[in-house]
Structure 1
Amino acid sequence: MKEPKKLLLFILAVGMSIAAAAQEVLNMPLIQTKYTADPAPYVHGDTIYLYTTHDEDDAEGFKMKDWLLYTSTDMVNWQDHGVVASLKDFPWYKGDNGAWAECVVERNGKWYMYCPIHGHGIGVLVADSPYGPFKDPLGKPLVWRQEHWDDIDPSVWIDDDGRAYMYWGNPHTYCVELAEDMISTKGEIMTMSQIEDYQEGPWFWKRGDWYYLAFASTCCPEGIGYAMSKSPTGPWEHKGHIMDHTPRTRGNHPGVIEYKGKWYCFGLNYDIFRLETSRHAERRSVSAAEMTYNSDGTIKELPYFIDCKLEQVGHFNPYRRVEAETMAWGYGLKTTRANPSGPWNETLFVTDIDDGEYILVRGVDFGDKGAASLTVSCSALLYGGRIEVRLDDVDGWKAGIIDIPNTKFKYQEFKTGLTRCTGVHDLYFVFKGSDKQRRNLFNFDWWKAERK
């Protein structure tokens, strides 16, 4: 029995080494603890709210039951907020699959989530907070033309004059004006003239006097194309690609935002799944890249996501309670609220922690005086493990060590002193096991640094 166990540990070690090298050199997907797709970023205040669809871990085809939320204030460290809405929030839909590409906007203090349910039109949910709970105000689809299955991938935009529009469709692009209440329509559904290379997934925005419509270009493989217009309802002129067709991925779905003076294009790929296997399954991941414009308003074409650079915007504050599910990289880990063999937790926590895995938080600003100590909240059922607090590399300066004993799955706080934690560093929480336990070491809930 020892040899298979050794082989498994070897495979895991090799996989982690590949993943570590990938995230250091390449612009890898933003989320590694779940499979995410169909990015719908929205900027409100100083925060990016990134809503995504969710491919299940065992998906072969499209297996999608709910919608997730991640937030960031620096573009590289993302906090997981888990499921914010699901198919169960639509009582009129009795199926258990089909939670496709959503879009979320805020208006007058309310948050509106437009959710296509494959084959059953586009529903809408409303909440008082970007985190939910989202409720169905209609009890029926907002748009559902039952003669076809084209009603997917909504994109909603509120123009400078207060008029709101929703765009959607595959293989045609449709548009309808939304009423002030954002849950009813005004006028007839318009069918846009066919845009060259358009497949699906329209994403609408405005910059200056130009309106833009990005989209997943003709399959397969898809790229991210775009068109421009002087009017929110067209006519649209195809301008090329934000990212060209590439065999390095199969599908795409764009989301475009301006954040802190820079523009970003989000899309999807299979790059996390490719760390495990070369075979195909619908287990996708969201990536992002900085996007720039030419003087005439057209967009400079980007290389594939992996080859782009995504720089941190601002630094990360460690002197507060930081949820452990906030990370720039955490391949191999999972996040949940309920461990099958443990207690329910009010917030998400990091689990499936194995020997050699780690959480990376980029650009942590400890300040000139630095940090004196660090406290973590963890729980363990069996032998537990150790957290090595390292700087700038998984094998970098060991600033502190925290041993996590058996807590009988009760969350307890543990503290370590820190050394050399001044200025700005990438912070690594490196997890170590023992001879008795190398997998599922403990659960990690939150951490906080304290100043000198």
Structure 2
Amino acid sequence: MLLATSSLACFSQHPILTTKYTADPAPMVYKDTVYLYTTHDEDNADGFMMKDWLLYTSTDMVNWTDHGVVASLKSFAWTKMDNGAWAEQVVARNGKFYMYCPIHGNGIGVLVSDSPYGPFVDPINKPLVWQKENWNDIDPTVFIDDDGQAYMYWGNPDPYYVKLNKDMISYSGEIHKVARPAHYQEGPWFYKRAGKYYLAYASTCCPEGIGYAMSDSPTGPWTFKNYIMSPTDKSRGNHPGIMDYKGKSYVFGLNYDLMHAHGIMEHHERRSVSVAEMHYRKDGTIEEVPYWTKEGVAQIGHLNPYKRVEAETMAWSKGVKTEKINNCVAVNDIHNGDYIMLKGVNFGKGAKSISINAAPLNGGTVEIRIDNINGKSLGTCKIAGEENKWSNYIAGMTNISGVHDLYLVFKGDADKQLFKLDYWQMKKR
């Protein structure tokens, strides 16, 4: 059970994803939704133990829905690696979605899908890039310029780039080695804003900060400007993903805060993703962002509880995990005292009842509370019945109006798994 310590109940929300260890955030905005692709550190990882790539989505920047594994090392038939699924990026073009995946020591592969949710398949059955004389081919980042030309940068300890063809699964010309910007380490993130090109990257290992360089050309030369986030002893690694969304700019990165919240203070590669709002000056340079704040970012809009809400949607949690069941993600590993928290739920004029789709194991209850884990109780939903049979369970609710944080608190026999959750929905008064 990943989140097992009671101290997590009062741990401030630095990381935005809590049911798994995640790293190397790669955000993509598509049709009003943020698609956040991440790598995945295994729960028992000491060094890097990374086998697959995950997807999370959000429309408010604080409540994130877990879509599980969207690709893995097994997606590439040409490699037999069982570790090395390092930092990826997904870009959209002409109705298709292209995922660029490094396989440490085996180059960079590419997968394609008709949907941002996958399934992603290998269209070329070989590496897109593989400089076999070194192990530098990691951390690809892809950007499509205004003229339609696509570029892929990557590399540690030196950056490289190629010009991708319009098919996005091949390239033309040579692999170009780029003069290393000051403090460049790895994890480049390439993008353009207001006519200027940016190359953000993990810098100055170790600890790593997030540095950035700018250029008037997509191929450089690159001039180091400053740190987006300075190196700090609070963390060991970092890795940027940058986007604009609903009029604001954001930088994603990684830390070890979730592992530390579990009481594990010795170093392991069990990382967690965080996000901060980022601001540009008039000349295009970036104001430095402090280390990930306890408050996180401001919520954009509110969550509607009167539409179906997937149980794996959450801003924070304790104890629970997620798994794919028949291609759908559900919440599992639920024990007494665990909970799920959602930020900024708009109850409007009040909710009459809640319906929870669940499958009993040993059975238990869901307490519906607001504002904190011991906050006002709106009702209790009992989950009991035939083991592993999915059913809707309904409970009445005390009237509450306005916007509140929502806690689903799970109670039952100690040390036993209580039930699994698929989704929930409230009914208006």
| TM-score category of the 2 structures, normalised to the smaller one | over 0.9
> CA separation in 2, counterparts of 1:414 and 1:36?
32
> CA separation in 2, counterparts of 1:264 and 1:421?
33
SS of the equivalent of 1:58 reads: coil
Q: Which residue of 2 is the match for residue 284 of structure 1? A: 271
Tell me if structure 2 keeps the 8 A contact 1:380–1:410.
yes
Aligned partner of 2:81: which letter? G
Of 314, 319, 341, the residue aligned with 1:360 is 341
> CA separation in 2, counterparts of 1:374 and 1:359?
15
In the TM superposition, residue 250 of structure 1 has moved relative to its aligned partner by 0.8
Q: Which residue of 1 is the match for residue 370 of structure 2? A: 391
> CA separation in 2, counterparts of 1:252 and 1:301?
15
Aligned partner of 2:344: which letter? G
> CA separation in 1, counterparts of 2:404 and 2:36?
25
> CA separation in 2, counterparts of 1:310 and 1:83?
26
> CA separation in 2, counterparts of 1:445 and 1:403?
15
> CA separation in 2, counterparts of 1:331 and 1:271?
14
Tell me if structure 2 keeps the 8 A contact 1:289–1:308.
no
Q: Deviations over 1:213-270 (max 9, x none)?
A: 1000021110000011111111111011000011111111100000000000000111
Q: Deviations over 1:200-223 (max 9, x none)?
A: 000011110211110000211100
Aligned ranges 1:53-132 → 2 under 5 Å: 53-132=39-118
Aligned partner of 1:379: which letter? A
1:401 aligned to 2:390? no
Aligned partner of 1:420: which letter? N
> CA separation in 2, counterparts of 1:438 and 1:398?
24
In the TM superposition, residue 43 of structure 1 has moved relative to its aligned partner by 0.3
In the TM superposition, residue 307 of structure 1 has moved relative to its aligned partner by 4.9
Aligned partner of 1:385: which letter? G
Of 365, 374, 379, the residue aligned with 2:359 is 379
> CA separation in 2, counterparts of 1:118 and 1:438?
39
In the TM superposition, residue 346 of structure 1 has moved relative to its aligned partner by 4.0
Q: Which residue of 2 is the match for residue 159 of structure 1? A: 145
Of 167, 175, 184, the residue aligned with 1:181 is 167
Tell me if structure 2 keeps the 8 A contact 1:199–1:215.
yes
Tell me if structure 1 keeps the 8 A contact 2:345–2:405.
yes
SS of the equivalent of 1:330 reads: strand
Tell me if structure 2 keeps the 8 A contact 1:366–1:421.
yes
In the TM superposition, residue 308 of structure 1 has moved relative to its aligned partner by 6.1
TM-score if structure 1 supplies the norm length? 0.92
Q: Which residue of 2 is the match for residue 340 of structure 1? A: none
> CA separation in 1, counterparts of 2:40 and 2:105?
18
Tell me if structure 2 keeps the 8 A contact 1:124–1:137.
yes
Tell me if structure 1 keeps the 8 A contact 2:359–2:391.
yes
Q: Which residue of 1 is the match for residue 328 of structure 2? A: 347
SS of the equivalent of 1:444 reads: strand
SS of the equivalent of 1:88 reads: helix
> CA separation in 2, counterparts of 1:331 and 1:430?
10
Q: Which residue of 2 is the match for residue 234 of structure 1? A: 220
Aligned partner of 1:335: which letter? T
Q: Which residue of 1 is the match for residue 11 of structure 2? A: 22
Of 234, 244, 254, the residue aligned with 2:230 is 244
> CA separation in 2, counterparts of 1:262 and 1:172?
31
Q: Deviations over 1:147-198 (max 9, x none)?
A: 0011100000011111110000001111111000000102111111120000
Q: Which residue of 1 is the match for residue 285 of structure 2? A: 298
Length, aligned pairs only: 427
In the TM superposition, residue 282 of structure 1 has moved relative to its aligned partner by 0.7
Q: Deviations over 1:306-331 (max 9, x none)?
A: 35641111111112221100000013
In the TM superposition, residue 381 of structure 1 has moved relative to its aligned partner by 2.3
Q: Deviations over 1:89-135 (max 9, x none)?
A: 10000121110100100000000000000001000000000011111
Which ranges in structure 2 are unaligned for 5 or more consecutive residues? none
> CA separation in 2, counterparts of 1:203 and 1:189?
18
Q: Which residue of 2 is the match for residue 3 of structure 1? A: none
SS of the equivalent of 1:306 reads: coil
> CA separation in 1, counterparts of 2:344 and 2:116?
26
SS of the equivalent of 1:279 reads: coil
Q: 1:31/1:309 Cα in 2 relative to 1: closer, same or farther (>3 Å)?
A: closer
Tell me if structure 2 keeps the 8 A contact 1:302–1:308.
no
Aligned partner of 2:10: which letter? A
Q: Which residue of 2 is the match for residue 311 of structure 1? A: 298
Q: Which residue of 1 is the match for residue 131 of structure 2? A: 145
Aligned partner of 2:316: which letter? W
Aligned partner of 1:253: which letter? H
Q: CA RMSD in A?
A: 1.5
> CA separation in 1, counterparts of 2:124 and 2:22?
28
Which ranges in structure 1 are unaligned for 5 or more consecutive residues? 1-7, 338-343
Aligned partner of 2:306: which letter? Y
TM-score if structure 2 supplies the norm length? 0.97
Runs ≥4 residues deviating over 2 A: 306-309
Aligned partner of 2:9: which letter? A
Q: Deviations over 1:287-323 (max 9, x none)?
A: 1010111121111111111356411111111122211
Q: Which residue of 2 is the match for residue 420 of structure 1? A: 399
> CA separation in 2, counterparts of 1:420 and 1:249?
44
Q: Which residue of 2 is the match for residue 32 of structure 1? A: 18
